[in-house]
Amino acid sequence: MSFSGLGLNNELIKTVTQQGYKIPTQIQMKSIPAILNKRDVMAAAHTGTGKTASFCLPIIQLLSQSKPKPKHTRALIITPTRELAAQVAKSVATYSQHINLRYGVVFGGVRIEPQIAQLQSGLDILVATPGRLLDLYNQQAIHFEQLEILVLDEADRMLDLGFSNEINRIQTLLPNTRQSLLFSATFSKDIKSLAKSMLNHPVLIEASTANSTLDTIKQTLHPVDKTRKSELLTFLITKHKWPQVLVFSRTKKGADSLAAQLNNTGINAESIHANRTQHARTLVLEGFKSGEISVLVATDIAARGIDISQLPCVINFDMPYVPEDYVHRIGRTGRAGSSGLALSLFSADETKQLDAIERLIGRKLNQEVIQGFAPITINKKPPPIKKASNKTLKNSNNKKPARSQDDELYGNFEADPAPKGKHNGRGSRSSRNAKDWR
């Protein structure tokens, strides 16, 4: 099926043709007609499947007939992070180039005054992060009486970041009669509960599974001792001479440390994470996309919004604790059906994470030991546990616990631990950490 068979108008067909799109992806084929028919949609789609176009294109067509009132928006697209908001807004700009629409993007970390100014005349489409959107509403800079369409993009990540209260608050401010679209990588229990509260008889779309999304990505596991991971990473980057590499670190401190080590070896690298200012993150992303920076070391949350069509390689320096994050990570390569390469540096202490990932994707990852980097600890059995004497226990009560090697290597986690008694089993970020991304 071609794009013209989905019901898109001539202006949008011209746009997708100019972008080089020939055949719609699975999510686009299923979502676009449903949205054009003004149905609510609940869709499961992983990154790299053409998800953004699947809701942006029909929304642009639906809004092309009338104009917004001052301080109003007719379509609201909510994203979990600033980078993703900027990326979606860029897509709106691209897809609407032949249609006269007003659009804007708002997020935290930058001055609010210019954002208030752009809302004065009203917008057809507003892309926003939850926190900044509520800030603008509280300042009476935006009204929702004219809202026709609501989109929650990457809703699962929204909940992981602790935005549940903000999303519930935003829903109370919107008209009851509206079209609502929810896009998520998974249909978890929390996502289903959220969908029940915001969708009206939705069309259910499961456009891609973890398996089908990863079919175009070659995945290889490189066993190595933890203490030699950075050395192996440097070797691989130098040997293959990839023009761009996205490297995932589990923690903010680890990302900074790894970027510094790579720079010391002559590799142009930068880190990106929640502790860096919005201006710094924007400059780093622009430098990476332009090719000025060859290696970007990112945490899971910071990588949202990185959309480079021909990114040749993604490397997991640390295996993620949440298995779904593995799919999100490697989905940065092999986008829109192109081939990609995902390498994971695996140490013996990450066996549980690996097992969880392999269960999720339904396959065993190919293991390849790099010559000169064969691990010496991977097959070692843990030493037997010795029963402590009463004297040893008594003495140990007066001693502070030793700082582990993991603490030295990784420092504080990017994700704050879930509050006591509120763990949801998916590595949820607390609302305190969510403020860094609103």
Q: Can you tell me which residue has the tokens 């300042």?
A: 139
Q: What are phi and psi of 182, to 5 degrees?
A: -125, 120
Question: Cβ(361)–Cβ(210) under 8 Å?
Answer: yes
312: left (phi over 0), alpha (psi -120 to 50) or beta: alpha
133 and 223 assigned to the same domain: no
Q: Can you tell me which residue has the tokens 């959107």?
A: 133
166 and 259 assigned to the same domain: no
7 and 108 assigned to the same domain: yes
What pLDDT is attached to residue 318?
95
186 and 315 assigned to the same domain: no
Of 180, 208, 236, the residue that ends a domain is 208
216 and 195 assigned to the same domain: no
Taking each helix axis as running N to C, give the angle between helix 82-95 and helix 51-62, from 0 to 180 degrees, rounded to the nearest 10.
Answer: 50
- Residue 131's contacts (CB-CB under 8 Å, 6 or more residues apart) are 108, 163, 166, 434, 435, 437, 438
CA dihedral of residues 366, 372, 373, 378 (deg, nearest 10) = 80
Please tell me the number of Cα atoms within 13 Å of 355 on its side-chain side: 5
217 and 195 assigned to the same domain: no
Query: Two tokens at 319?
Result: 């295996």
162 and 253 assigned to the same domain: no
Instruction: Give, rounded to a whole angstrom, the gap between the first and last alpha carbons of the chain.
Output: 39
Question: Cβ(314)–Cβ(244) under 8 Å?
Answer: no
Output DSSP code: residue 28. Answer: H
Strands of the sheet containing 295-298, edge to edge, are 269-272, 295-298, 245-248, 313-316, 340-346, 217-223, 366-367
Nearest partner of 357 among 335, 372, 336, 342, judged by Cα: 342
DSSP string over 158-188: HHHTT-HHHHHHHHHHS-SSSEEEEEES---
Instruction: Round to whole Å and give the CA distance between 128 and 407.
Output: 36
Q: What are phi and psi of 75, to 5 degrees?
A: -135, 135
216 and 203 assigned to the same domain: no
104 and 215 assigned to the same domain: no
Of 176, 208, 240, the residue that ends a domain is 208
What pLDDT is attached to residue 323?
84
Collect the ranges in the chain with pLDDT lower than 50.
Answer: 209-211, 378-382, 388-389, 391-433
Nearest partner of 241 among 271, 267, 269, judged by Cα: 267
Where helices occur in 241-381 by DSSP H, the ranges are 252-264, 278-290, 323-330, 351-361
Which helix (H) or strand (E) is 132 found in, with range? helix 130-138
Instruction: Round to whole Å and give the CA distance between 139 and 136.
Output: 5
Taking each helix axis as running N to C, give the angle between helix 189-198 and helix 164-173, from 0 to 180 degrees, rounded to the nearest 10.
Answer: 10
Domain of residue 143: give its range: 3-208
Instruction: Round to whole Å and give the CA distance between 213 and 47.
Output: 8
Instruction: Round to whole Å and give the CA distance between 56 and 51.
Output: 9
198 and 288 assigned to the same domain: no
User: How many structural domains does the chain have?
Assistant: 2
Q: What are phi and psi of 62, to 5 degrees?
A: -65, -30
230 and 170 assigned to the same domain: no
Instruction: Round to whole Å and give the CA distance between 82 and 130.
Output: 10
What pLDDT is attached to residue 45?
78
204 and 270 assigned to the same domain: no
- Residue 34's contacts (CB-CB under 8 Å, 6 or more residues apart) are 41, 203, 205
Q: What is the CATH number of the domain that holds 320?
A: 3.40.50.300
Of 189, 208, 227, the residue that ends a domain is 208
Q: Can you tell me which residue has the tokens 């202490």?
A: 349
Written in H, E and C, the secondary structure of 319-360 is: CCCCHHHHHHHHCCCCHHHCCEEEEEEECHHHHHHHHHHHHH
Nearest partner of 263 among 294, 303, 222, judged by Cα: 294
